[in-house]
Amino acid sequence: MGKLVLITGATAGIGEATAVIFAANGCDLILTGRRAPRLAKIKKHLESKYKIKVTTLSFDVSSLKECESMVNENKKMLSNLDVLINNAGLAAGIEATQEAHIEDWEVMIDTNIKGLLYMTRLILPMMIKKNSGHIVNLGSVAGRWTYPRGGVYCATKAAVLAITEGIRMDLVGKPIRVTNVSPGMVETEFSLVRLKDAEKAKAVYKQIKPLSAVDVAETIFWCVERPPHVNIQEVIMFPTEQVSAGHVIREAK
């Protein structure tokens, strides 16, 4: 494929799995995240296994100042970017609205919405100048179907869907593609970050075979490798045993 791909939130889970599949297909990578040692380890592994170049940039996408500094310091490299994958995101807390911690809301809004917007706003003008590019946003089935005790998280992913559609409309007539990938249950660090309890996080995936990070990464790659005249607008993917955002068929295994 030979593209230059930037992946936010690449230190684990879907972001890391996506880095692996693009590396395996000959793409140079720009991997970002807050855990610099983790990024360095992934870089070493991918560069030793594949004939590609990996650049790591450790910063917080929820900080406009840090995003601006990153772009300003790497404009030459970023001017050649082919694909931006806005993967960084999280859920925090499962309390009812009247009991929720406002700090959790702020973290989700700042990362899932504002971080995605900051990166897109800073990168997109360079893609327009280059006259090519592809933006892939990681949404969620929660962006279409709300569930109890998840209203704010669901709202952030509904925003991702609306923003994706809005960007696509704003780019009409330009050869830049925009895609929203919305998975259901994926077994990553997601539940651990949300619940802050290893046992509770493990129970989320009990008696079900959830999607894996690789499943989602392969879907992202498939969207990007379509011919230039094909834009995959949105992909919704569930594990077979999940039938809606809040309905999972669990069986003893």
pLDDT for res 137: 98
pLDDT for res 253: 52
The bridge status of strand 4-7 relative to strand 83-86 is parallel
Give yes or no for residue 191 having a pLDDT over 60: yes
Cβ proximity of 42 and 32 under 8 Å? no
24 DSSP 8-state letter: H
Query: Confidence band (pLDDT; 50, 70, 90) for 222?
Result: very high
153 is catalytic: yes
Q: How many other CB atoms are found less than 10 A from the CB of residue 247?
A: 11
Q: For residues 30 and 50, give the distance between their C-alpha atoms in angstroms, rounded to a whole number.
A: 15
Q: How far apart are the first and last CA of the chain?
A: 40
b/e map 31-52, b = 16+ CB within 10 Å: bbbeeeebbeebbeebeeebeb
Of residues 50, 118, 147, 153, which has the active-site annotation? 153
Cβ proximity of 249 and 228 under 8 Å? no
Cβ proximity of 7 and 88 under 8 Å? no
Query: Confidence band (pLDDT; 50, 70, 90) for 246?
Result: confident
Cβ proximity of 201 and 195 under 8 Å? yes
Please report, for the chain, the start and end positions of each structural domain, with discontinuous segments joined by +: 4-248
Query: Confidence band (pLDDT; 50, 70, 90) for 249?
Result: confident
Strand positions, DSSP E, the chain: 4-7, 28-33, 54-58, 83-86, 133-138, 176-183, 234-237, 242-244, 247-248
Give yes or no for residue 135 having a pLDDT over 90: yes
Residues 206-220, mean pLDDT to the nearest whole number: 95
Q: What's the pLDDT tens digit per position in 112-121?
A: 999 999 999 9
Cβ proximity of 54 and 43 under 8 Å? yes
Give yes or no for residue 227 having a pLDDT over 90: yes
Query: Could you tell me which of 178, 182, 202, 176 has the C-alpha nearest to residue 190?
Result: 202
Residues 30-35, mean pLDDT to the nearest whole number: 96
Q: What's the pLDDT tens digit per position in 152-168?
A: 999 999 999 999 999 99
How much of the chain exceeds pLDDT 90, in percent?
87
Cβ proximity of 246 and 202 under 8 Å? no
Residues 117-146, mean pLDDT to the nearest whole number: 98
Domain 4-248 has CATH 3.40.50.720: yes
Q: How many other CB atoms are found less than 10 A from the CB of residue 236?
A: 15
